[in-house]
Structure 1
Amino acid sequence: MKAEEMWKVSTGKGITVAVLDAGVDPTVPELRGKVQVGADLTADVTGGSKDGAETVQHGTNMAAYIAGTGAAGGIKGLAPDARILSVKVATPGMKGMFGLAGPLSKAIRHAVDEGSRIINISMVTSSVTGQEAELQAAVDYALNKGTLIFAGTGNEGAELAEYPAVVPGVVAVGALDTKGKVAKFSNYGDHVALAAAGVELVGRCESDKARFCAKDGTSGATAIASASAALIWSAHPDWTNNQVLRVMMETAGRNGPVPSKYIGFGGVRPAKVLLEGQGDPGPADVNPLLAARGQTPAPGSSAAPQNSPSPESTGASGEGGPSKEPQAAPEAAARSEEGGFPLWAVVASAVAVVALIGVVVAVSVRSRRA
């Protein structure tokens, strides 16, 4: 992804990314001083800084993929100068709470009101029965306030429309493997908008945050997409959410039909924007994703968005979450679609740092849970 070259142009400075997850641990070296602890909307309130009783590390990994500094051998994220707002919406093994749209809807509104330009939701649920309108209203609120929402598609390797990725206006993100092709576990469907690296990302192990493991999932892919948006937005602070998303869609890598039900408009390539000046931001007040799909924006969402302030079953859509094992994907030939460029571990530089200080990176330990 040419991260080191991009960092000469943009590091995500000035952009706050809300991580709606099981909490973020702000004590890991790469996140110290970077995390604002927001609301805890779970039934068992423990505070937004608690990452699943500090055993799962899912939210912490997502925050690190986005904004980790690499300090003391930790993970260096794609947008290392971005800031994180932690909003807790789930706990490990919980049933029903995330499935109810109430906490998630409140979390989205809270993230917007706290000044987040980007909201990262690396989690899925199969049902928000009876609360679809409430969730849609929260998404519309965020879009109207000039915020972007990225959400993982899930990891069953099936054609599934899971929430919140399926909600109109949400940017649904699928996962690419190390060869740049759609990952076998990545859920697909007409709602998929973009794809990003989601295989063999280095993350902190579930039970030992001092060790590192290889992680697979659309969770990580979503974080990489959010970080890509942060890099672009930091370099072009006068752009609206619609313009940032438009250039991401235009410069995405693809080798096949567009949009694809596997990788949407393609794999994110922020370097095309930052290093080559590609992508036309276009009109500030037109949502390119809704327009491309012929969807009608909610009342008020066609107006020019405001600039954000500067500064049944549930589960995570990536490693470490309480959901299902990835299943073998059908339609193998169709799923060979490429994101247009080879992808290796985006945080590979962190591995080198860790190795230099003698920390063993346990790449053989792989979390395959959703």
Structure 2
Amino acid sequence: MRYIIIGAGAVGGAIGGRLAEAGHEVALVARGAHYEALRTHGLRLMTSEGTRTHRLPTVDGPAALGELRPDDVLVLAVKTQDSEAALEAWGPAPVAGGGTAAERLPLVCAQNGVESPRIALRRFRRVYGVCVWLPATLVEPGAVSAAGAPLTGILHLGRHPHGTDETARRIAADLEKAHFEAPVVPDVARWQYAKLLGNLANAIEAVSGVLTSEEGLALFARVRAEGEAVLAAADIAYTGEEEQKKARGNKIRFEPFDGSERGGGSSWQSLDRGTGTIEADYLNGEIVLLGRLHGVPTPLNELLQRLANTFARERRAAGSLPVAELVRLADEAVAFVQEERAPRP
């Protein structure tokens, strides 16, 4: 199988680079300065084993690849806010022997949140979800750092909305040979919703910096509790802490190399690069949506969604809002909702 990595940034670059190292055919899809760097200099993948450069076919869209092959696997690794545009471009791409990518090829959504597989299923017949545990950073155009060890990441995958098949098992086998653990599960959404709860911290980190203070961690606990209440009201199952810990074990440790430091997560990286967009609508915003559908107030997640989008739109510096100020705004948001819901005399 050939893997076409649509969005060869931090996660996509790490997966594509590792698959290439394991001997698999890989093509990268990127845009802007990252595309130019990959085309000119190749993908520099930095891990605890050292830095390697992979000169892989790199394109900015399906037309540059020509007719796709029946054995192609499309790996969607863009941020969720970019999914619709990517799917619109790749869905109609012709496949040798007849038909289109949307009709014939498997699409693997290796992204945060739970929305992209739902978006994809409107266009693609065969959609696979992935719960991504993969510490990776787009260091600069053309360079990706993946500092997890001994495994680069853990990628639970399965059919969306549920089930498994031989294609999932073949993809998992390839990932297992490429420094990943890739359990094939019939209930991948259960893992994705658990990851979603953890990703509710992304917006806190993006606007106020890496969560290290007691104040920040206490705020995240409140934000997560709000998310858990919403999932309970929506009757959505998710894997518990013990099951997640058992799955992770000590398989992924952050091991600095060549002076590398643990950077911020995906939302922090979006602000740091000044992309102008952020994935908060599909993380905190997912909880807000479910809360509105099921009558559960979500003032903390609403606040974080709004702040993250404002920071992205106005290109404010990542981590520039003091945690104490964020906590003050959170308390105000909760108080406002409580006042609105209080019985009137």
TM-score by length of 1: 0.36
Larger Rg: 2
TM-score by length of 2: 0.38
